[in-house]
Amino acid sequence: MIPVPGFENARVAILGLGRSGLSAARALRQGGAIPVCWDDNPEARDRAADQGFEVFDLREGGAFDDIARLIVSPGIPHLYPAPNPVVVAAQAAGVPVDNDIGLFFRALAHAGWEAHDTLPRVVAVTGSNGKSTTSALIHHVLEASGRAAQLAGNIGRGVLDIDPPGDGGVVVLELSSYQTELARALTPDVAVFTNLSPDHLDRHGGMGGYFAAKRRLFAEGGPDRAVVGVDEPEGRFLAGQLSEGPGDDRVIRVSVAGKLGGPGWHVFARKGFLSEYRKGRQAGSIDLREIKGLPGAHNHQNACAAYAVCRTLGLAPRVIEQAFHSFAGLPHRSQLIAEAGGVAYVNDSKATNVDSAAKALSAFRNIRWICGGLQKDGGLEGLAPGLANVAKAYVIGREAAGFALGLPGIEAEVCTEMSTAVERAMAEAQPGETVLLAPAAASFDQYDNFEQRGVDFTQNVLARLPQA
């Protein structure tokens, strides 16, 4: 655990007692603060009380009279679509609002860095799609190369639950927009922006607010190096803002849309080959086509970003390439769960929006596509580039019929339930085809989360395969 200093004997309020909230409470208590905890869920309050924390209703009048700071969990809105009443009360009382990510960077700023021969480094990864895979891939490469590394934030452990980084250690953080928008301290050594597509727009008041939340990681933090995907206008804008000129190698531009040129530092992938260029000369290359844990152009973008980060941390191209080959991928993200009878079965339940599903569709050919769920704003038009690869769609979800109507030009069968969709897709799949779960929708109409949906798909597939 990383103790949070600076609040000795002060009362610090915690709103939201999930993983990050309870982790923040423990780290604050270890640093000498007095956590005051609240959650609307009585079971969450009971868990906090069982750990010896004071539980107090922060909605009561005068609750913030003696509070030094309010720590808010990521899922709780503080501005859009409407601020939580507890946040409003804290702001009215002049109490600063922060989150566990801000506390993490605050704690690191107080650490005894003079004791290290090689300073620890923090890599922070954000973006709409691919940030989990990119973060996990960076962590995997570092560990495979013998570097001490920890993975935390929106993936892995709670950011304050990790061990204080040791000499030369690297902390890899995956950060969502919910985390970057509120943190009062953001000071990574290397920051990564993968890409941007519409998501969480109600939470951020539109696309501009969503981009602004991501941009804070760079504008507030001033990282030594920035790795920026430039295949969208926002990424090109961000790279331009951070760079002092064409040759400024503090900004590493990443692309899978085409070759990048100029005197700067570039990493791009074309036709399955990753290339690194510095000062107009090639400095490294990797053939990504046979790396099973990184299928498709979207994963090649993740590979480019991870490669760029690892190069800034001093790893050689061949070391990175070797580690890429041993990367198994993440559950529910283009995860190959089985191959039988010439048919591949792939779980990409994390494809919860149109953009990520379109990328999954573009990664495979001859697809039996399981899709549907709680549809997000913006419609399904963005799926068009990948629909040519779909042999047939099998639509699940409570609104499956309406979802199917949004898929013109392809055969779509309304299945509603996962078990029916898997049964039908497996019965009709031919050798050389892929049965792909890439829902292009949230899971909450039928499941608690996308992980549960992916597990249901996997169990249904494995139950129907011949037993060896």
Residues 6+ apart with CB under 8 A from 419: 460
pLDDT in tens, 160-181: 999 999 888 999 999 999 999 9
What is the rounded average pLDDT of the residues 436-454? 94
pLDDT at 237: 97
What is the rounded average pLDDT of the residues 225-235? 97
- In whole angstroms, give the CA distance from residue 31 to residue 300: 42
Known binding-site residues for ATP equal: 127-133
pLDDT at 52: 96
In the predicted model, what is the mean pLDDT of the chain? 94
pLDDT above 80: residue 386:
yes
Show the domains of the chain with their CATH numbers.
11-98 (3.40.50.720), 105-325 (3.40.1190.10), 335-462 (3.90.190.20)
pLDDT at 466: 87
Here the tokens at position 299 are 């994963």
Residue 356 CA from chain centroid, whole number: 12
**pLDDT category of residue 78 using cuts at 50, 70 and 90:** very high
Q: Are strands 434-437 and 225-229 parallel, antiparallel or unpaired?
A: unpaired
The 3-class SS string of 93-148 reads CCCCEECHHHHHHHHHHCCCHHHCCCCCEEEEEECCCCHHHHHHHHHHHHHHCCCC
pLDDT at 111: 66
pLDDT above 60: residue 114:
yes
pLDDT above 80: residue 267:
yes
* Cα dist from 154 to 172, 237, 407, whole Å: 10, 25, 32
pLDDT at 468: 53
**CB-count burial class (<10 Å; 0-12, 13-18, 19+) for 139:** buried
- Token pair 């109507």 in the structure block, residue: 405
DSSP, residue by residue, 385-406: GGGGGEEEEEEESTTHHHHHHT
Could you tell me where the DSSP H helices lie in 220-264?
A: 233-242
pLDDT at 112: 66
pLDDT above 70: residue 272:
yes
What is the rounded average pLDDT of the residues 169-198? 95
pLDDT above 90: residue 250:
yes
**pLDDT category of residue 389 using cuts at 50, 70 and 90:** very high
In the chain, % of residues over pLDDT 90: 83
pLDDT above 60: residue 159:
yes
pLDDT at 377: 77
Three-state secondary structure call for residue 177: helix
pLDDT at 113: 63
- In whole angstroms, give the CA distance from residue 345 to residue 339: 6
339 conformational bin, left if phi > 0, alpha if psi -120 to 50, beta if neither: beta
- In whole angstroms, give the CA distance from residue 370 to residue 422: 8
Q: What is the DSSP letter of 18?
A: S
pLDDT in tens, 403-436: 999 998 899 999 999 999 999 999 999 999 999 9
pLDDT above 90: residue 109:
no
Known binding-site residues equal: 127-133
pLDDT above 80: residue 120:
yes
**CB-count burial class (<10 Å; 0-12, 13-18, 19+) for 12:** buried
**CB-count burial class (<10 Å; 0-12, 13-18, 19+) for 287:** exposed
Computed on alpha carbons and rounded to an integer, the radius of gyration of the chain in Å comes to 23
How many C-beta atoms lie closer than 10 Å to residue 203's C-beta? 18
What is the rounded average pLDDT of the residues 356-369? 92
